[in-house]
Amino acid sequence: MTPILLIQILEKNYGNNNQERGNAMLTPLLVIGLGGSGGKTIRSMKQALNRKLESVRYEGGLPDAWQFLQIDTTYDGVAFPAPMLPKDEFHCVVPNGSGFYDVLASITNRGTVSDQHKMLSGWGVRNSAISIQAGAGQIRAIGRQVGVADSAKTLDAIKSAISKMQAETAMADLRSVAKALKGEVPQNATPQAFIISSIAGGSGAGMFMDVAELLKRATAQNWGTEYGVLEMNVGVVDSLESAIDHIATFGTQHTEAIVTEDKESARRFIAMSDCAAVMVNASTRFTDGEQMGFGAEIGISNQKLHARGPMGLEAMTTTTWIVTGTGQIRS
């Protein structure tokens, strides 16, 4: 459910007469507001949700299963009717005393010269008199540079919010809220996450895509999810070893694949992959009994089945199917 829909459900289904009009399904929720507009939005959301809970005489406040996080260049009390967020719900991407050129240096000192050039060419600002302590000056490129420079700490802030959202005590509080609203929390409720930002400003609009990527990294369970639709998670790693470690953590030991012209990389990938089949420059869809000449397929086993009865050396081994190709796909 979207944050707006969450408020609408509370308004529609649980009016001031306190009579049950529906069966709202409440789930863990993370709402990230970027920049000034995003911050004002989540402040308004919290105010509306608190008022609704007060209307049903619930005195426990908002549950920790509903997390709110503002990410911005400055923590200010702009004139706005909704209360300010507590400091633990605000993450400032500009360290105290830092100026624009400090941010620029922190980016360019990260990697190789080519990495620096790629990072800054096209969109990066190299010279600016803007005081980033007060914001990005409505310049999206500066907002993005500030966000990139602080990405590691921003990721930590997002992970912290997710950890609070998924705590057992948070889920217990959410069930109490659902009871007060005559709703329910689904078993194994799937957490929802939303990013709110203006597209016209500097800080929020500049950071939006990078924060979305950080949010994906922070939710590791997505890597092990089989969606059953034409969707995929794509991760960027630093080396072949990092890719293999990622596969070992989140893979299913079914089929893994590598696309490479380097024979040594292919050999290492085959040797280090613990799975039923390895594809080298070929589609993973070739893991099929008929395709491999078995006739009608009975099933595909990810297990290392043991032998029964007397065993020799051969019975103490398992098999991995290795398929090499030159870019073939299965039609």
pLDDT in tens, 277-298: 899 999 998 888 788 787 776 6
Looking up tokens 């990622």 gives 246
Residue among 73, 119, 79 at smallest CA distance from 100? 73
Phi and psi angles of residue 197, each rounded to the nearest 5 degrees, phi first: -160, 150
Higher pLDDT, 98 or 78: 98
Mean pLDDT, rounded, for 259-264 = 95
Both tokens assigned to 219:
């939710």
Q: Could you give the CA distance from residue 93 to residue 70 in angstroms, rounded to a whole number?
A: 10
Chain mean pLDDT for the chain: 79
H/E stretch holding 34: strand 29-34
pLDDT at 129 over 80: no
Phi and psi angles of residue 208, each rounded to the nearest 5 degrees, phi first: -55, -55
Top mean pLDDT of 89-98, 232-241, 252-261, 295-304 is at 252-261
For the ranges 78-92, 113-127, 239-253, 276-290, which has the lowest average pLDDT?
113-127
Q: Could you give the CA distance from residue 165 to residue 192 in angstroms, rounded to a whole number?
A: 10
Mean pLDDT, rounded, for 55-62 = 90
pLDDT of 265? 95
Q: How many CB atoms lie within 10 A of CB 134?
A: 11
Q: What is the DSSP letter of 56?
A: T
154-212 pLDDT per residue, tens = 988 998 898 888 888 888 899 999 998 888 888 777 788 899 998 888 888 888 988 99
Q: Could you give the CA distance from residue 57 to residue 64 in angstroms, rounded to a whole number?
A: 18
Higher pLDDT, 299 or 197: 197
Residue among 75, 73, 69, 76 at smallest CA distance from 103? 73
For each of the domains in the chain, give its residue range(s) and CATH number, in order of start.
3-224 (3.40.50), 240-328 (3.40.309.10)
pLDDT at 20 over 50: no
Chain Cα centroid distance, residue 189: 17
